[in-house]
Amino acid sequence: MLKILPHKNSLFIALFLLVFCLNHTKALTIAKNGAGICPGGSIILSADDIGLLDYQWETLKNSGWTPLSSAKLSSITLSFNDLGKYRLTAKDNLGNLIISNTLDIVALSSPPVPTISTNGKSSPICQGDSLILTTTAQANYSYYWVYNNTEQVIPSSTKFVAKKAGRYEVLAVYNQTVSSNGCVSKSTTYKLDYSSATLAKIDSVPPFCKLSSPNITLVATPTGGKFKGKGITDATLGTFSPTVAGLGKHKISYEVAQSGSCPSIVDEIYIAISNPQASITTNTGKVQFCEGDDAVLSAPVGMKKYEWLLNSSPKGNQEKLSITTSGDYQVKITDFETCQSLSAPIRIEFYKAVVPKTDIIPSVCGTEYPPVALKGTPAGGVFTINGTPATTFDYTKLGFGKHKVLYTLSGALPCLKGTDEQEVVIQDKPKPNLGSDILLSKGNSVVLKGFIDADMTYSWLPTTNLDNANIANPTASPTTTTLYTLTVKSKQNCEGKATISVVIYEPVLIPTVFTPNGDLVNDKWEIESLQIYNNPEVHIFNRWGSTVFYSKGKYVAFDGTDSNNKPLPEGAYFYKITPIPERPDFQYKGMFTILR
């Protein structure tokens, strides 16, 4: 809700605001850069930038303060003809007019013209001598010396030591610098000359870039002087020898005597002799690197310029060069005497990591194989077999067993080293031993024993009447005599064979008594089961071990007589029957009785 204040309160607030604004108006102050203006000089009036607007300079005339039409900035430059009083007006951002202080710009008199005097000497002087120039000091003035129109950078002084021929002046300044509002007076010029205008001068000599450079004759003026310095071999002629001088910068002087009391005139030059030798070193001292290695080339230190080349193409411009590429590297160096040297090419090689490989040597059964040449890549390695150097794998000499073949590369770098290894097995052929042929009575079974090793595989032929033809020890139940063949294979497919015959026989039934009495009953020792054998052998002995009957071949029954056909006495007799003479282990032995 708007509240209407009483009349007395409104007046009080208005007065308060007026006082507040008056107290907070920005102050505008102007200053000058000098006490006044000398004839031909100027002065600058200026105000600090306090964010005001619409600047206007005014000067006080008989009619009052008059604006200067072209003076709209916070500073103004006045000349000697602009003497008088000045002020500056401006407005703040509320439009209030602000008036500065007043400055009175007055005329100043030019400083008295200074004069130059000497310390008892006068021009001309001998070259190398000096002359002290002085001027009389006056209060409130500073003095600055000028040589050939150039102000000398020395503190303000009434004295100056002149060492060179030329034009000298002194400036008197009203208590300020040379640029002080035109309040400067300059003396008349004092001209300093040498007794002799002639100066000693040695022609400059370019640097020598080799110690072996030929001698030169220095040129100097005027003639008739003497040369001095390291490398001068003839002081009169000015012969200079780089070889005698040696490396470095050598000061050479030329001295010419002057007439009268003046000292000799002298000139000096420096002759530089350099002999840069470009060379390249590597951070490892080697020129072979593995790919990925930190490879850095270095040139001699302290050169002004470096130019690296790879296969004659620019590569870098620093003292050191990091590289990753194979090629021919060179460096051209330029020293601070501008002497240059190009290094000899250095071949840098980067190598990939080798992976040694060898030709496969087959594992075999038996030793009856020709030797195999050992081959590995990359070439240059060494083979060993079981730790012994070798160039071939000789099956016969190495014999049965496992043999370690190792190929070793021993390069100069880690990436050029490596090994490849393989194991070659020379296995003897399995040699199954089935033993002697087996006699087996008909209708019976027998175990065939062919076992060698559990790692072998077994195969029997024929498979007839075997319980398992693929095991080492099958059970055989042949009904007829059978020749069995066993094939045994190792894991390396080495194969061996053996045979065994299982001989099937009929049992022989032998009588224990017979009666050879002529009654045609049991008169002979009949062995009917022996008839199935083709070549049986029968021995009969008496009790004293004498043979009374012998038969080989188809058996003819024994009739109880001796070899003279005489009847043998009754009693006990012994027999030995071999159904198969080739198998003496297959025999029947026993006793029978003859009764009459």
Q: What is the 3-state secondary structure (H, E, C) of 136-188?
A: CCCCCEEEEEEECCEECCCCCCCEEEECCCEEEEEEEEECCCCCCCCCEEECC
The mean per-residue pLDDT over the stretch 248-257 comes to: 95
Fold of 117-192: Immunoglobulin-like (2.60.40)
**pLDDT for 21:** 43
Percent of the chain with pLDDT over 70: 94
187 to each of 114, 136, 162, 168, 489, how far by Cα in Å?
5, 11, 16, 9, 130
- Give the position of tokens 């008496």: 542
User: Of 250, 308, 249, 258, which is closest to residue 278 (Cα–Cα)?
Assistant: 308
Structure tokens at 48: 């600090």
Residues paired with 131 in a beta bridge: 162
Structure tokens at 547: 């043979």
Domain range annotation of the chain:
23-105, 117-192, 201-273, 281-351, 357-427, 438-505, 513-594
Fold of 23-105: Immunoglobulin-like (2.60.40)
Q: Which residues contact 7 (CB under 8 A, 6 or more apart)?
A: none
Pairing of strands 495-505, 438-441: parallel
- Contact status, residue 225 vs residue 234, Cβ threshold 8 Å: no
- Quickly state the pLDDT bin for 6 (edges 50, 70, 90): very low
486 to each of 188, 241, 474, 501, 515, how far by Cα in Å?
141, 105, 11, 11, 51
Structure tokens at 67: 């604006």
The mean per-residue pLDDT over the stretch 120-149 comes to: 86
Residue 106 clears pLDDT 50, i.e. is over it? yes
- Contact status, residue 276 vs residue 247, Cβ threshold 8 Å: no
How far apart CA 165 and CA 126 sit, in angstroms, is: 10
Residue 181 clears pLDDT 70, i.e. is over it? no
Q: Which residues contact 62 (CB under 8 A, 6 or more apart)?
A: none
- The domain 438-505: what is its CATH number? 2.60.40.10
How far apart CA 294 and CA 114 sit, in angstroms, is: 75
Residue 16 clears pLDDT 80, i.e. is over it? no
Structure tokens at 33: 């850069």
SS3 305: strand
Residue 7 clears pLDDT 70, i.e. is over it? no
User: Is the model more confident about 250 or about 163?
Assistant: 250
**pLDDT for 583:** 84
- Quickly state the pLDDT bin for 533 (edges 50, 70, 90): confident
**350-390 pLDDT, tens per residue?**
999 999 999 999 999 889 899 999 999 999 999 999 999 99
- Contact status, residue 105 vs residue 43, Cβ threshold 8 Å: yes
**pLDDT for 12:** 47
Identify the weakest region by mean pLDDT among 154-163, 282-291, 419-428: 154-163
Q: Which amino acid does the sequence have at 171?
A: L
- Give the position of tokens 């000098």: 34
Residue 489 clears pLDDT 50, i.e. is over it? yes
Structure tokens at 412: 């100069």
pTM higher than the cut 0.75: no
Residues paired with 78 in a beta bridge: 43
Identify the weakest region by mean pLDDT among 60-64, 493-497, 574-578: 493-497
Structure tokens at 336: 């601070």
The mean per-residue pLDDT over the stretch 247-272 comes to: 90
Domain 357-427 = CATH 2.60.40: yes
Residue 196 clears pLDDT 80, i.e. is over it? no
Fold of 281-351: Immunoglobulin-like (2.60.40)
Q: Is there a common fold for 281-351 and 513-594?
A: yes
- Contact status, residue 169 vs residue 198, Cβ threshold 8 Å: no
User: Is the model more confident about 12 or about 224?
Assistant: 224
SS3 572: strand
The phi, psi pair for 398, rounded to 5°, reads -75, -35
- Contact status, residue 374 vs residue 391, Cβ threshold 8 Å: yes
- Contact status, residue 466 vs residue 474, Cβ threshold 8 Å: yes
Identify the weakest region by mean pLDDT among 90-94, 293-297, 323-327, 388-392: 90-94
How far apart CA 40 and CA 184 sit, in angstroms, is: 10
CB atoms within 10 A of CB 288: 19
Q: Which residues contact 314 (CB under 8 A, 6 or more apart)?
A: 307, 308
300 to each of 326, 335, 340, 342, how far by Cα in Å?
22, 10, 12, 12
**pLDDT for 18:** 43
Residue 453 clears pLDDT 50, i.e. is over it? yes
**pLDDT for 25:** 58
What's the gap between Cα 325 and its chain centre?
Answer: 11
Fold of 513-594: Immunoglobulin-like (2.60.40)
How far apart CA 174 and CA 112 sit, in angstroms, is: 10
E strand intervals along 5-125: 30-32, 42-47, 53-61, 64-67, 75-79, 84-91, 97-99, 103-105, 117-118
Residues paired with 193 in a beta bridge: none
- Give the position of tokens 């003026």: 221
What's the gap between Cα 377 and its chain centre?
Answer: 26
The mean per-residue pLDDT over the stretch 436-454 comes to: 89
Residue 17 clears pLDDT 50, i.e. is over it? no
Residue 245 clears pLDDT 50, i.e. is over it? yes
- Quickly state the pLDDT bin for 125 (edges 50, 70, 90): confident
Check residue 416 and report its DSSP letter.
G
Residue 168 clears pLDDT 50, i.e. is over it? yes
